[in-house]
Structure 1
Amino acid sequence: MSMIALTVNRRAVQVSAEPRTNLADFVREKLDLTGTHLGCEHGVCGACTVLLDGVPARSCITYAVACEGAEVTTIEGLDDDSVTTELRAAFTREHALQCGYCTPGMLVSARDLVLRLPQADERLIRVGLSGNLCRCTGYVGIVRAVKSVIEARRARDIAPMPDGGRKILGPVGSDRSDADRTERMRPVESEPMSPEAVGSVASIPDFTPATVLEQQFTVAHPPEQVFAMFDDIAAVAACLPGASLTGPPRPERVEGTIRVRIGPIAGTFQGAARVERSPTDMSGRIVGIGNDRRSRSSTQGEIRYRLVPIEQGTRVDLSIGYTLTGMLAQVGRPGLVRDLAARLIAEFAGNLDRRLSGTSPGDATAVELNGMALAFGLLRARLAGWVGRFLSNKGGAT
């Protein structure tokens, strides 16, 4: 496994991957950015096109390790991009998509044309899009959409960008030097420490999470009571399934363990954390590091919380960020971790509510992710999505 540090959608990430992993699989499987599609996997169809250092590139034939220090932008990173916004509207208006499988890569390539071409020349547009194949539309609507956006932008006196940001001739990304990488990359922590080193860490470092999950739960108690409860570190740890303290807790350093089980795979992470609180807006942050000796896996984690008063009590908004390396990273897909986090938080919320009500939260057993339960959970989510789209389409047709 190689540790790869790069910037994806303006966020620095550092994730381990096999040297043979291509960039498409890297962003899809490691970062859960599934808007990048895989088609031919030979660099021919263009479905996997992303921006590498601002230039369109085939991510299926680009090794992720070769992108060390690069800036990668997937279709998700273009949500707020003005050119892509215009193209999306034009694609809808001109009926430039049907199944939509080629559309993410088509939009990335079309954006490059809108930036570069001095005028809406249909021949140049067709040549520019010749590396993006579509089996549905016949390309007429696609060409019209791109042409209309170029015409509209040039009419607004938006000048073309010479060479679309390209600086030198050669393969995409070939202009990256070590100095460029150092300047562009935001600080990223080095590889997590060995299990033996965690106990010797004097202070818990900040880091940039590779994956961030958003969660929330509610309790039927006022925010002031919940926030005061969060100041009792030992009580909070007692509410967290699988967690236990190994020493007297202090805000600047809390040492303990947490046990996690994913089907037959179990891990006991020993680590330390620091706790920060802001009484003015009833928010806080917990930053920690941990290692599982048995699997030689390491993790860094960050939990940000904010208490929001609601009619029935308090809503707790959570942002959970983490980086996982080692053997357990092989099963630490974002979907699995998201399901595990949801189950853990549900149990934590129940234990917290019982403690606030004056009853015991019960024993701290390892939170477990059952394979069949996960399969049924994913199936339920998929069916709910299908039903929602069907009802939406039906409503739009009536």
Structure 2
Amino acid sequence: MTTIALQVNRRAVEISAEPRTSLADFVRDGLDLTGTHLGCEHGVCGACTVLLDGVPARSCITYAVACAGADITTIEGLDEDEVTTELRAAFTREHALQCGYCTPGMLVSARDLVLRLPDADERRIRVGLSGNLCRCTGYVGIVRAVQSVIEARRARNIAPLADGGRTILGPAGSGRATSGQNGPQPATQALAAASDSVAPGAIPDFTPATVLNQRFTLPHAPAKVFAMFDDVAGVASCLPGVSLKAPPTPERVEGAIRVRLGPIAASFEGAARVERDPATFSGRIIGIGTDQRSRSATQGEIRYRLLPLEGGAATAVELSIGYTLSGMLAQVGRPGLVRDLAKRLVAEFAGNLDRHLSGTAPGQATAAELSFWSMISEVLHARLVRMFGRVFTGKDGAE
């Protein structure tokens, strides 16, 4: 097995794979990005086309280990892409898809043509798409769709990119030469290097790979809760597994969070910057950290907003929790399970906050280590109860 570190859809990823694993199998089986389809598995049909360092490439005949340090974009990573959005609308309008199996690869290749071609030349479009086979449409609608997008963009004075933005000759990915010290760092190493800096400006903004939204209520006025959030040490004491490494400042905090996932123990050390807006009772905490033992790295962002309830006597706390995780720990999470875990963690945090604000001693000390193993057991137990409740009663566990 070989550990491969790279960027996939703007997210740092590090996963072990066999040297013979294709990039297509790597993203489908390892990352659950099944929008990349497998057809011929010989590099002929184009269904598996992805972007490798911005250049269309056949992922079925590309070894994943050859992509270490590369930037991979699958069809899922183009959801917010302007050109792809226009192409999807054009494909629908021109009836350019039927079964849809070839469409992800077709869109990736068509996007490259829209960026490169100076005008909507039918012959050049057909040649450019000749490596993407479709058994349903006859290609007429596909060509019309690509033509319409090129015409519309040129009419808006959007000029083509010379060679589609390519700056170096050679096959897809050849521009990311890793020889010497000037080559790009693997994703996890780059993230770790960033977390070593202590300058406030070194904690960058980022686009989270996963965002979870949570909400809870507290029987305290918004002003009191907001003042509590200004007490960084007090808030940290309410979070399971969190400890501070140095006295916090109003804008910055340095600390660690200890996590145990089965046999894996990790201690993420890093720093965060704190932003607050008293006018709207809102704020943001954005941080970065690494765990040397598991070779994992993370970026995290917590946005919060406080809303008055019961005439201002209580507060609704709205949380948006975003994170990007790479390394060993990135391999164990499933979205549904992570949401359940986050919900339980937030519930524990809310209970600790309430006790802190009420001035009462908590029933038990905040856990010195965040144990996902015990939380997973609770989640699985709850899911089994719901499942058997539906089987035997036809309802969600109701009698």
Tell me if TM exceeds 0.5: yes
CA distance in 2, matches of 1:134, 1:268: 49
Whether the 8 Å CA contact 1:257–1:270 is kept in 2: the answer is: yes
Aligned to 2:285: 285
1:302-341 to structure 2, matched below 5 A, reads: 302-312=299-309, 313-326=315-328, 328-333=329-334, 336-341=337-342
Matched residues, number: 361
Structure 2 match to 1:18: 17
Match of 2:217 in 1: 219
- Classify the secondary structure of the residue corresponding to 1:283: strand
Distance 1:376 1:97, change over 3 A: farther
Query: 2:176 touches 2:183 (CA, 8 Å); kept in 1?
Result: no
Distance 1:85 1:169 in 2: 29
Q: Distance in 1 between matches of 2:297 and 2:169?
A: 40
**Greater CA deviation, 232-241 or 168-177?**
232-241
Name the counterpart of 1:47: 47
RMSD value, Cα: 4.4
Tell whether the 8 Å contact from 2:5 to 2:186 is kept in structure 1 after alignment: no
Matched-pair contact (CA < 8 Å) for 1:53–1:70? yes
Change (3 A) 1:187 1:41: closer
1:286-338 per-position Cα deviation (integer Å, ceiling 9, x unaligned): 6464659xxx5244344433332324324333333243434x55423555444
* Equivalent residue number for residue 353 of structure 2: 352
How has the CA–CA distance of structure 1 residues 356 and 188 changed in structure 2, closer, same or farther, with 3 Å as cutoff?
same
Does the CA-based 8 Å contact 2:269-2:291 persist in structure 1? no
CA separation of 1:79/1:209 partners in 2, compared to 1, >3 Å: closer, same or farther? closer
Q: Return the letter of the residue paired with 1:73.
A: T
Structure 2 residue aligned with 1:386 = none
Q: Runs of 5+ in structure 1 lacking a partner?
A: 194-200, 380-398
Alpha carbons 1:213, 1:321 under 8 Å: kept: yes
Report if aligned partners of 1:12, 1:186 keep a CA contact under 8 Å in 2: no
User: Distance in 2 between the 1:288 and 1:152 partners?
Assistant: 42
| One-letter amino acid of the structure 1 residue matched with residue 322 of structure 2 | I
What's the CA shift for 1:93?
0.8
The code of the aligned residue for 2:215 comes to F
**Post-superposition CA distance 1:114-146 (Å, at most 9, x none):** 334454444443343233233443433222212
Q: 1:202 and 1:80, CA in 2 relative to 1: closer, same or farther beyond 3 A?
A: closer
Contact persistence 1:15–1:325 (CA under 8 A): yes
Question: In the superposition, relative to structure 1, how do residues 184 and 17 fare at CA in structure 2: closer, same or farther (>3 Å)?
Answer: same
The residue type equivalent to 1:318 in the other structure is S
Compute the TM-score of the two structures, normalised by the length of structure 2: 0.70
The separation in 1 between residues aligned to 2:245 and 2:56, in whole angstroms, is 54
Alignment map for 1:1-398 (pairs within 5 Å): 1-6=2-7, 8-9=8-9, 11=10, 13=12, 15-18=14-17, 20=19, 21-28=21-28, 33-154=33-154, 160-161=160-161, 163-167=163-167, 170-178=170-178, 182=182, 189=189, 211-220=209-218, 221-232=220-231, 235-237=234-236, 239-241=238-240, 243=241, 245=243, 250-251=247-248, 252-254=253-255, 257-260=258-261, 265-274=262-271, 276-280=273-277, 282-285=282-285, 287=287, 289=289, 291=291, 297-312=294-309, 313-326=315-328, 328-333=329-334, 336-357=337-358, 361-363=362-364, 364=366, 366-367=371-372, 368-370=375-377, 372=380
Structure 2 CA distance for aligned equivalents of residues 183 and 3 of structure 1? 16
Residue 343 of structure 2: SS of its match in structure 1? helix
Q: What's the CA shift for 1:17?
A: 3.2
TM-score of the two chains, using structure 1 as the length reference: 0.70
| Residues 183, 332 of structure 1: alpha-carbon distance in 2 compared, 3 angstrom cutoff | same
Give secondary structure in 1 for the equivalent of 2:174.
coil
Alpha-carbon distance in 1 for matches of 2:129, 2:62: 20
1:44 counterpart SS class:
coil
8 Å contact kept, 1:17–1:26 = no
The alpha-carbon distance between structure 1 residues 212 and 86, as it changes in their structure 2 partners (threshold 3 A), is: closer
User: Percent of pairs identical after alignment?
Assistant: 54
CA contact (8 A) 2:96 2:145 kept: yes
Contact 2:116 2:161 in 1 (8 A): yes
Change (3 A) 1:267 1:177: closer
Give 1:88 deviation, angstroms: 1.7
* Contact 1:91 1:141 survives alignment (8 Å): yes
How much has 1:217 moved relative to structure 2? 2.2
Partner of 1:395 in structure 2?
Answer: none
- Unaligned stretches of 5+ residues in structure 2: 310-314, 388-399
3-state SS of paired residue (1:133): coil
